[in-house]
Amino acid sequence: MTIKFRWLDEPPDLSGDTYDEPPRWPEWLLQRHRGRMLLPSEAAPAVGVPDQPDQPAEPFAVPIESTAYRADTLLIPNVLLRNQPLVSAIQQAAGVVFQLPPPLTKVLPADQADHLDEIPRPVALTPADLTSPALVDAWTALRRIRSAVGRNELRWQDGKGNEVTPSLEQRKWLLEVSLDHLLLGAYGGVPVWEQDDVPGQAPSGGYRPEGRHPIAALVGLPKRDESEVFVMADGTKRRPVVAVLDTGVRDHPWFVVPLEVIKDGGSESFLHLSVPTQEALKAHQPVVAGLPHTNVLFDYHDVPIFAEELSDRVNRAVGHGTFIAGLIHQHAPDADVLSLRVMRSDNVGYESDVLLALWLLVDRVKLAQRDPANAWEMIDVVSISLGYYHETWRAEKLARLSAVIKELTSLGVVVVAAAGNDSSRRPFLPAAIASLTTSLPLVVGVGAANPNATTSWYSNGGASASAEAPGTCVVSIFPPDIDGSRSPSDKAASDGRQSVDEDSFSSGFALWSGTSFAAPVLAAAVARKLVEIGASTELTQQATVDRALAALRRLAGTSLIAEFNDLDARIKLAGKDQSERRSKLKKRLKDEKKSVDQ
């Protein structure tokens, strides 16, 4: 297996002039998720505000690029929502009325509520004047809020009738109010959709290399080695854990026992589920009138199977999470997989759901690092196979995903994200965070490679792909109960022979393509290296960070092609002379290979 690392010792070109525009979302999909396309030719520019001016400053225009977002929802930090007078002032500035989500304290365990202030909550917007024909638009509301913050126009009365303005701390949080972006799963070829596409799986007259195909895989369940585990300081054992944020899972023989048994814990399966996290995700979204029932993440089940009830057309991303879990188990059988459902089976996720899931993972890791008795809560690698294109070019500064991923990597968690499938250089988040900032060496954006180790035609490049791994025409497990309406193209009534039924997955295996699958392959490779170097380990923050960096160095050092694999030097030598940088990198690489061999 070939894994290529392309760590950049020079910042990527962020001018935006040469970026290819990804395809526009089809209208039916936007309507399903109450979404809207933000287009530079049709929308007002973003409102820029100086970070911390000493006095009110006139906001300035910031050019935008296309993105997809929830038209009637804003992401507002939880800390602001607890201040009712401030909430009223924000509503007045935005010209809308907020429909607040339920408090997370009602559904979260006390030991997983450390970061409630930082968590951006999805707040539904309704018109301030129900008699007005004006439409509610989150982008318009966001521009008004940022403009009011820049001009210091937010005002409210305290309990004594005194006029109050936001403090510097409140102002910082106010500038983090943002759109709730719509995220796409990164599977398939270019494009994932056409603008005039129809729901469900696109019809096909035969084999499509980028498509999802049932296959007969003559392989058994990978064997696990009890010796290939982490031995903790107190003598207890645990396996490395890869958290997968995706569509959830469906039952499969490789999981050994039914999901209903796995969710209660204590099973022998490599798969794990988190009921508390799924309960929090279910309670996270405000119940908006008209929101389709299937848009709510009720639990870990990958549902619904069909895009349309009457046509039995298989949903585009159903089986996505199961397929990814199988890839990780094939390449790292001694690791466990924690499946978290944040994406719907139509291939769409909400940024708010992904953010909540990631912040809850931060709490889990901190809980494990505080007390070895909670080692079972530990997460070693996070695999994310979905993402989006931010509306402004300084995406790494403005994206809420950057903050939580920075927190995770500071704890020693390796974050691996798919680069996207639009054959574009435009930064695809969160994958591009790996290259857009030198402060997060434990983030890897992964492009897809073909079976012959060449770059896949559809795979994004530029800042989004700091590495490549096999992602095209890969084989993994697939829910065997999936059987759609498409039938074999040829049947013989005489003896029952027929051509392949592309919608019947009773074999339990499939072939699929996408950077969605390159990311978990690399995540599994990291998990393998963690096991190799972690024969005896502890869970302190520094020990976890050191182990993660060593695993990435070892993985890059054993790649068939490793163009640049020194993570520390990428930070420490930034901005120095190119020749000096190269010579030091070569020396450090040579020394590190010696230490790894020892």
Tokens of 301: 């089940």
- The pLDDT assigned to 594 comes to 47
Active site residue 246: yes
d(CA 117, CA 362): 13
The closest of 428, 430, 424, 431 to 457, measured between CA atoms, is 424
Instruction: Tell me whether strands 237-238 and 163-164 are parallel, antiparallel or unpaired.
Output: unpaired
Which CATH number describes the domain made up of 1-198+206-482+502-565?
3.40.50.200
pLDDT recorded at residue 52: 58
The first and second tokens of residue 139, run together, are: 């982008």
Domain ranges of the chain: 1-198+206-482+502-565
Helix/strand/coil percent split, the chain, to 5: 30, 20, 50
Options 246, 302, 363, 380, the catalytic residue: 246
Helices 84-94 and 138-150: crossing angle, nearest 10°? 110
Q: Among candidates 325, 183, 332, which has minimal Cα distance to 248?
A: 325
Size (the chain), residues: 598
The helix/strand/coil state of 259 is: helix
- Copy the structure tokens of residue 414: 């390796």
Report how far Cα 117 is from the mean position of its chain's Cα atoms. Answer: 21
Three-class DSSP category at 532:
helix
Give dist(CA 182, CA 184) in Å, integer: 7
- pLDDT of 292 reads 58
d(CA 565, CA 486): 46
| Nearest partner of 154 among 45, 49, 61, judged by Cα | 49
**458 and 211 in contact (C-beta within 8 Å)?**
no
Q: Would you state the pLDDT for residue 114?
A: 60
Q: Is 383 a catalytic residue?
A: no
Q: One of 178, 352, 466, 516 is an active-site residue; which one?
A: 516
Cβ partners under 8 Å of residue 259, min gap 6: 249, 250, 251, 273, 300, 301
Q: Which two tokens stand for residue 268?
A: 């022998």
CA 22 from centroid of its chain's CA atoms: 18
Give kind and range of the element (H or E) at residue 156. Answer: strand 156-157
For residues 74 and 141, the answer to whether their CB atoms sit within 8 Å is yes
Mean pLDDT, the chain cut into blocks of 10 residues (598 residues total): 64 52 83 92 85 65 91 94 93 93 76 74 89 85 93 86 88 92 72 50 46 89 82 80 97 95 87 93 69 74 81 86 98 96 94 95 93 90 96 70 92 96 91 75 92 92 91 95 80 78 91 95 95 78 91 72 35 37 50 46
Torsion sign across C-alpha atoms 539, 541, 545, 550:
negative
Q: What is each CA distance from 491 to 202, 338, 487, 497, 506, in whole angstroms?
A: 22, 42, 9, 6, 18
Task: Return d(Cα 510, Cα 504) in angstroms, integer.
Answer: 10
Question: Considering 320, 329, 331, 390, which one is annotated as catalytic?
Answer: 320
At 276-296, the pLDDT tens digits run: 999 999 888 765 545 555 577
* Rounded Cα–Cα distance for residues 21 and 448 (Å): 19
User: What residues pair up with 127 in beta bridges, in sequence order?
Assistant: 96
Cα 412 from Cα 540, distance rounded (Å): 9
The answer to whether 45 and 140 are in contact (CB under 8 A) is no
DSSP state of 474: E
The identity of residue 37, as a single letter, is M
**Tokens linked to 135:** 């439409």
* DSSP H or E run through 516: helix 515-533
Of 221, 192, 246, whose CA–CA distance to 513 is shortest? 192
Which residues, in sequence order, are CB contacts of 34 under 8 Å at separation 6+?
A: 70, 71, 72, 73, 288, 290, 291
Spatial distance between the Cα atoms of 362 and 116, rounded to a whole number of angstroms? 11
Whether 320 sits among the annotated catalytic residues: the reply is yes
Dist CA 589 CA 587 (whole Å) = 5
Closest CA to 438 of 457, 413, 466: 466
Q: CA–CA distance from 170 to each of 46, 83, 165, 396 (Å)?
A: 21, 10, 9, 22
